[in-house]
Chain A
Amino acid sequence: MRTSIVEALRQGISEAMEKDPSVFCLGEDISIPGGFGGAFTVTLGLEARFPRRMINTPISEAAIFGMACGAAAVGMRPIADVQYGDFLLNAGSQIVNQIAKLRYMSGGSVKLPLVMRAPVGVTGRGAQHSQNLESFFLSCPGIKIVAPSTAYDALGLIRTAIQDDDPVLVFEHKLLYGSKGARAETGTVDASSEIPDRYYEIPIGKGIIRKSGKDMTLIGSLLMSHFNGLAASELAKDGIDCEVIDLRSIWPLDMELILGSVKKTGRVVIVEEGPKQGGIGAEIGTRIAEAMPDYLLAPVTRVAAPNTPAPFSPVLEKLYVPQPQRIAETVRNLVAKY
């Protein structure tokens, strides 16, 4: 039976709570009987199993992340979540000024083992419920960032994140969750997986090659990893053999994997759902250009959203998010020219 990302996350969270009494969840609408189980049903039903450790909070993001920080500093392992990633910014000072910096400014004595979960993605809700915030937090030393694009990855990464002794930010994609019922998303992309019976973890800081190829490296995460896969299938028909890298971790970046691939293909397109301006592509692209100018057959190229907030109109939204066709078109042009 295939498992969805919400089910995988729920499994990872509940098995950690069973194993370790210091693990607990806090967030909005996460533990109301008859309620949502969080905005996308990840924690559905957990309040019945762990009545004292599912802390349903007021709509107070600064308090959610501030309390997670305080609880972690005295030995708990909180899992804090927001309904939409955009609301991380309501807790901006707690995350960026406290959680990311407390250990460093304490001289390495304070330990903050906490997980922050945040749904991202442009999904028919307009500019304030659509941001891909990975690049905001990429410029924030002190936080590790993961982004599971399949249910298998979601379970492996949430297991690792909960056990990690540093703050880990988990970006989850609304269209990949596989939420059901009233919380189901239109436009959902199947990210379900077969989950093996044997226990496994996925290390933070390691990416994965979803499809190997020799002509072009396509880099992305979350929804864009799926779109890169679709673009690669399309391009295969034209005889262009793409290697598809799913980052899995946004920080640390698996530069070894990326550079190894680019060394082989000589061409790279970095695809991201958020604006190109100050994006993940800028970071990865510069690193590639710095590390291996001699191997590049073509300029490092980015496919991203325009440098605007996300528009609402479905017509504009479809133009905004890089679609598989746009990715494929970019690759074709590059291969033709170089």
Chain B
Amino acid sequence: MKKEKAAPGGIVEKVSAAETIGLYTTMVEIREFEDKIRFLFLEGNMPGTVHQYVGQEACAAGVCAALQPDDVIASTHRPHGHAIARGLTMESIAAELYGRRTGCCKGKGGSMHIGDLARGMLPAIATVGDNIPIIAGMALAFKMRDEKRVAVSFFGDGATNEGAFHEGLNCAAVYNLPAVFVCENNLYGASTPMSMVMKVKDVAERAAAYGMRSSIADGMNVFDVYEKASQAINVARAGEGPTLLELKTFRYSGHSRRDPNNYMSKEEKEVWKQRDPIQSCEKVLIESGVLSQEKIDAIRGTVSQKVEAAMKYAQESPFPSPEAIEEGLYVGMGVPQ
């Protein structure tokens, strides 16, 4: 890790001030973006469906900050946070949500397939668990070509009950691949509590079944996520094999669209919101003197403007032309009639 000016005080001592501000800003970007999306969606202004990332910001921000530009991530049906943290432009994400031709997938993917491989993020894979073997394959390619690149799969607790999780992790372990499998354990698979569908307390325990390294981080603490993710990524890059990294987190929103998440108790929601990743990060930043309240307000203001501009860009962007329906299926030919 870079050591410019180390931020003072316990939790952030290993992270430079600039990195700290970067982590914080990314989380704010995700939160502001998602809040705006929720508003526009409920207003009926946005088509399709959305699965929101609010509450889990520290996971995407912490892991992606530990990556190099030529590493690759793959996400899920809940990909907005990963895309922002990976550095896709907010304009291209927003335009994709609006189904516009300026979107990162030219309006062909939508909310659940946000991504841009040129920027190190595969278009998101929205069938649960399916990105896991794909990430293993990318890592296999990196290893076969002796490239020092790492492939990172994001998935939820629910995905760890899929066969693809088992097959993908086993192969990654067997071939000692440069991959990190990041389980954002938000305790619910849609409405089903994790405790109803698995007997293990920690998803990380499952790594032992594959002879794979595992670790657990506090998914509400961006510094902890960053540290554990950096370790796992460094190990992978050094050729020492994959890690199953479990991040304990919580989503504030429902599973999708208008889900009011009534299956979560008020108390449970309150307890987790007390540990809000952005507020707790702010507290650390102020107490350690890295940022003043004024600076924090300024960051929030800038991000807010950036989100507004992205939405405006998206709303004013053109829709795909009718011919686009048959474009981009095959490389060397059109759609056979």
Contact flags A74-95 to B (C-beta < 8 A → 1, else 0): 1110100000000000000110
Q: How far does the alpha carbon of A111 sit from the alpha carbon of B117 in the complex, in Å?
A: 10
**Once the chains bind, are A67 and B133 in contact (CB under 8 Å)?**
yes
> Interface-forming stretch among B253-261, B268-276, B306-314, B325-333?
B325-333
Minimum CB–CB distance for A19 against chain B, Å: 16
Kindly state whether residue B130 has any CB partner on chain A within 8 Å.
Answer: yes
In the complex, what residues of B have CB within 8 A of residue A24's CB? 144
In this assembly, does A241 line the interface, its C-beta being within 8 Å of a C-beta of chain B?
no
User: Which interface class (under 10, 10 to 19, 20 to 34, 35 or more) fits A?
Assistant: 35 or more
The answer to whether B141 touches A104 (Cβ under 8 A) is no
- Does B113 have its Cβ within 8 Å of any Cβ on chain A? yes
Q: Which residues of A contact B72 (CB under 8 A)?
A: 74
Given the interface pairs A73-B122, A105-B123, the reply to whether A63 lies near B168 with Cβ below 8 Å is yes
The reply to whether B329 and A109 contact each other, CB–CB distance below 8 Å, is: no
- Interface presence of B322 (CB below 8 A): no
Is A298 engaged at the interface, CB distance under 8 Å to the other chain? no
- Please tell me if the beta carbons of A105 and B109 are within 8 angstroms of each other in the complex: yes
A196 at the interface (CB under 8 A from B): no
CA distance A67 to B132 in the complex (A): 9
Partner of A107, one of B105, B127, B140, B333: B105
| B107 at interface by CB-CB < 8 Å | yes
B170 interface residue per 8 A CB criterion: yes
Whether B168 and A66, one on each chain, are in contact in the complex, defined by CB atoms closer than 8 angstroms, is yes
Interface 0/1 of A212-249, CB less than 8 Å to B: 00000000000000000000000000000000000000
List which B141-199 residues lie within 8 A (CB) of chain A. 141-142, 144, 151, 163-164, 166-168, 170-171, 174-175
A164 to B72, CA, bound (A): 24
Residue ranges of A at the interface with B (Cβ–Cβ < 8 Å): 24, 52-53, 55, 57-58, 60-63, 65-76, 78, 93-94, 97-98, 102-111, 113, 141-142, 144, 164-166, 205, 251-253
Minimum CB–CB distance for A242 against chain B, Å? 27
With both chains docked as a complex, state the minimum distance between the C-beta of A10 and any C-beta of chain B, in angstroms.
21
Q: How far is the CB of B221 from chain A (nearest CB, A)?
A: 30
Assuming A103-B328, A111-B331, is B142 touching A74 (CB within 8 A)? yes
Residues of chain B with a CB closer than 8 A to A251's CB: 336
Question: Is residue B135 contacting chain A, with contact meaning CB distance below 8 A?
Answer: yes
Tell me if B115 is interfacial: C-beta within 8 Å of chain A. yes
Tell me the bound Cα distance from A144 to B331 in angstroms: 11
**Are A93 and B127 also in contact (CB < 8 A) when A67-B137, A74-B142 are?**
yes
Verify if B106 is at the interface (C-beta below 8 Å from A): yes
- Provide the residues of chain B in CB contact with A205, threshold 8 Å: 333, 336
Give the residues in chain A near B54, CB-CB below 8 Å. none
Q: In whole angstroms, how far apart are the Cα atoms of A55 and B133 in the complex? A: 15
Whether B200 is near chain A, meaning CB under 8 Å from some CB there, is no
**Residues of A with C-beta under 8 A to B137:** 66-73, 78
Question: Known contacts being A67-B171, A69-B137, is A107 close to B130, with CB within 8 Å?
Answer: no
Which chain A residue shows the least CB distance to B337?
A255
Question: Can you report 30 A-B residue pairs in the complex whose CB atoms are below 8 A from each other?
Answer: A58-B171, A58-B174, A60-B167, A63-B133, A63-B136, A63-B164, A65-B133, A66-B134, A66-B167, A67-B133, A67-B134, A67-B140, A70-B133, A70-B140, A78-B137, A98-B127, A98-B130, A102-B122, A104-B328, A105-B105, A105-B113, A106-B105, A107-B103, A107-B105, A108-B106, A109-B328, A110-B122, A110-B123, A164-B331, A205-B336
- B204 on interface, CB distance cutoff 8 Å: no
Task: Give B169's nearest chain A residue, CB to CB.
Answer: A63
Complex: chain B residue closest to A65, CB-CB: B133
Instruction: Decide: A103 and B167 in contact? CB cutoff 8 A.
Output: no
How far is A326 from B120 in the complex, measured between Cα atoms in Å? 56
What chain B residues lie within 8 Å of A109 (beta carbons)?
A: 105, 116-118, 328
Q: Do the beta carbons of B117 and A94 come within 8 Å of each other?
A: no
A106 close to B333 (CB less than 8 A):
no
In the assembled complex, the CB of A277 is this many whole angstroms from the nearest CB of chain B, namely 23
Q: Is B125 an interface residue (CB 8 A)?
A: yes
Q: Which residues of B contact A78 (CB under 8 A)?
A: 137
A109 to B123, CA, bound (A): 10
CA distance A251 to B333 in the complex (A): 12
Partner of B144, one of A65, A76, A94, A105: A76
Q: Which 5 residue pairs of A and B lie closest in terms of their CB atoms, listed nearest first?
A: A108-B328, A66-B133, A70-B137, A107-B106, A67-B137
Q: Say if the beta carbon of B108 comes within 8 Å of chain A.
A: yes
- Which chain B residues lie closer than 8 Å to A97 at the CB level? 127, 130
